[in-house]
Amino acid sequence: MHTVDYGIIVAYLLGVVALGAWTGRGRQDLSGYLLGNRSLPWWALLGSIVATETSTATFLSVPGLAYKPGGDLRFLQLAFGFVLGRCLVAVFLLPAYFRGQMFTAYEVLHQRFGGATQRVASLLFLVARNLGDGLRLFLAALVLNKMLGASLPWCVVVVSAVTIAYTLLGGMRSVVWNDCLQLVIYLAGGVLALGFMLHRLPGGWEQVIGFATEQGKWRLLDWRWDATDPHTLWAGIVGGAFLSLGTHGTDQMMVQRYLSARNRWDATRALLVSGLAVLAQFALFLFVGIALACYFTEFPPAEQLTRMDEALAVFIVRDMPVGVAGLTLAAVFAAAMSTLSSSLNSSAAALINDFGPWLRIDRLTSGQSVAWCRWLTVVFGTVQIGIAIAAARYSASVVDDALAIAGFVNGILLGLFAVAVLTRRVGQRSALIGLLFGTAAVSYVKFATPIAWPWFTVIGAVATFVAALLAAAQQKTPAQRGGRS
**What pLDDT sits at residue 135?**
78
Of all residues in the chain, what percent are helix, strand and coil, respectively (each to 5)?
80, 0, 20
Which DSSP helix (H) or strand (E) runs through 461? helix 454-474
Instruction: Tell me whether residue 191 is exposed, middle or buried, using C-beta atoms within 10 angstroms of its C-beta: 0 to 12, 13 to 18, 19 or more.
Output: middle
Confidence of residue 434 (pLDDT cuts 50, 70, 90): very high
Instruction: Tell me whether residue 3 is exposed, middle or buried, using C-beta atoms within 10 angstroms of its C-beta: 0 to 12, 13 to 18, 19 or more.
Output: exposed
Q: How far apart are CA 74 and CA 123, in angstroms?
A: 33
Q: Which amino acid does the sequence have at 9?
A: I
Cβ–Cβ < 8 Å for 433, 395: no
Q: Is residue 445 part of a domain?
A: no
| CATH at residue 167 | 1.20.1730.10
Q: Which amino acid does the sequence have at 32?
A: G
Q: Is residue 24 part of a domain?
A: yes
What are the tens digits of pLDDT across the range 117-140?
999 999 989 988 888 888 778 877
What are the tens digits of pLDDT across the range 161-203?
888 888 888 888 888 988 888 888 888 888 988 999 999 999 9
Q: Is residue 478 part of a domain?
A: no
Cβ–Cβ < 8 Å for 458, 242: yes
Residue 300 has pLDDT above 50, yes or no: yes
Residue 440 has pLDDT above 80, yes or no: yes
In sequence order, what are the residues at sequence separation of 6 or more whose Cβ sits closer than 8 angstroms to the Cβ of residue 383?
A: 130, 134
Q: Is residue 293 part of a domain?
A: yes
CA angle 425, 98, 421 (to 5 degrees): 20
Q: How far apart are CA 408 and CA 419, in angstroms?
A: 18
Q: Is residue 413 part of a domain?
A: no
List the one residue out of 64, 450, 7, 438 whose CA is nearest residue 246. Answer: 438
**Number of folded domains that form the chain:** 1
Q: Is residue 441 part of a domain?
A: no
What are the tens digits of pLDDT across the range 5-31?
888 888 888 888 888 888 777 667 878
Backbone angles phi, psi at 26, to 5 degrees: 85, 170
Q: Which residues of 392-414 are buried (b: 16+ CB within 10 A; e: fewer)?
A: eeebebbbbbbbbbbbbbbbbbb
Q: Is residue 189 part of a domain?
A: yes
Confidence of residue 1 (pLDDT cuts 50, 70, 90): low
Q: Is residue 232 part of a domain?
A: yes
Structural domain that includes position 202: 3-395
Backbone angles phi, psi at 40, to 5 degrees: -80, 140
**What pLDDT sits at residue 84?**
95
